[in-house]
Amino acid sequence: DVKVTQSSRYLVKRTGEKVFLECVQDMDHENMFWYRQDPGLGLRLIYFSYDVKMKEKGDIPEGYSVSREKKERFSLILESASTNQTSMYLCASSLAVANYGYTFGSGTRLTVV
Amino acid sequence: AQSVTQLGSHVSVSEGALVLLRCNYSSSVPPYLFWYVQYPNQGLQLLLKYTTGATLVKGINGFEAEFKKSETSFHLTKPSAHMSDAAEYFCAVSDRGSTLGRLYFGRGTQLTVWP
């Protein structure tokens, strides 16, 4: 069964810590995406990548960075975690065609205290 | 950028009743259309999608959606709700011809099913 795997389901970090959220897909997909999900705001795109070592800012990139050193892995980095980054983080991957849609990971619920 | 509107952030129905979740998009060129479902503390799962051909699309768990170009809509329906349908539902679109395949999501509709 094809999968997008996020390394942690629940994470608690302290303010100011550097946080790494990892995402791995086994479908040889070109595109990978990071979203955050907050009640009433839906899914908001943080960053995406359409190839190894390539990255593009989404709608809310501030306070985040990403890394894609290998095709199957896309990491989201919170350089200095803040309480307003407490959220559900969702990773997704897709083929490089518009009619495929996404395959999502199970999400990481991050709490910053 | 695409815009997707889901009318009603919360919808409540009784078990056995019709489910209707509304979705409208803004593009003048009909996009590809998707519905996803999210159960508590999980990621999103594809319910169904419309890309071309028949405008009535059937998906998993008895759901279906109809693409209506004249109304720029892609409403999701299920004839008879089940308790297990309680979840959050997201409508999404992507631009035809795009090689990125980025999806633009609505804000979601929380479906509650009463016994």
Out of B42, B43, B101, the one facing A96 most closely (by C-beta) is B101
Under the banding of pLDDT at 50, 70 and 90, the label for residue A2 is: low
Under the banding of pLDDT at 50, 70 and 90, the label for residue A1 is: low
Q: Is pLDDT larger for residue B95 or for residue A25?
A: A25
Q: Which DSSP category does B41 fall into? A: T
Is the Cβ pair B100, A31 closer than 8 Å? Answer: yes
pLDDT tens, B60-96? 999 999 999 999 999 999 999 999 999 999 999 988 7
pLDDT tens, A46-102? 999 999 989 999 999 999 999 999 999 999 999 999 999 999 999 999 987 777 889
Query: For the residues of B78-115, what is the DSSP string, one character each?
Result: ESS--GGG-EEEEEEEE-TT-SS---EE---EEEEEE-
CB B21 within 8 A of CB B89: yes
Q: Which DSSP category does B71 fall into? A: G
| Nearest-Cα residue of chain B relative to residue A50 | B100
Residue A48 sits at the chain B interface (C-beta within 8 Å): yes
Residue among A8, A52, A88 nearest B41 (CA)? A88
- The count of residues in chain B is 115
Phi (first) and psi of residue B110, to 5 degrees: -85, 120
Is the Cβ pair B44, A90 closer than 8 Å? Answer: yes
pLDDT tens, B24-68? 999 878 889 999 999 988 889 999 999 888 999 999 999 999 999
CB A43 within 8 A of CB A74: no
Q: Which DSSP category does A1 fall into? A: -
Out of A9, A96, A101, the one facing B103 most closely (by C-beta) is A101
- Measured CA to CA, the distance from residue A78 to residue A67 in angstroms comes to 11
Is the Cβ pair A107, B90 closer than 8 Å? Answer: no
Under the banding of pLDDT at 50, 70 and 90, the label for residue B9 is: very high
Residue B45 is encoded by which pair of tokens? 């799962």
Q: Residue holding tokens 């946080």?
A: A19
Burial A65-104 (b: 16+ CB within 10 A, else e): ebbbeebbebbbebeebeeebbbbbbbbbbbebbbbbbbb
Out of A98, A104, A109, the one facing B94 most closely (by C-beta) is A98
Under the banding of pLDDT at 50, 70 and 90, the label for residue B102 is: confident
Query: For the residues of A42-103, what is the DSSP string, one character each?
Result: EEEEEEEESSTT--EE-S--TTEEEEEEETTEEEEEESS--GGG-EEEEEEEE-SSTTS--E
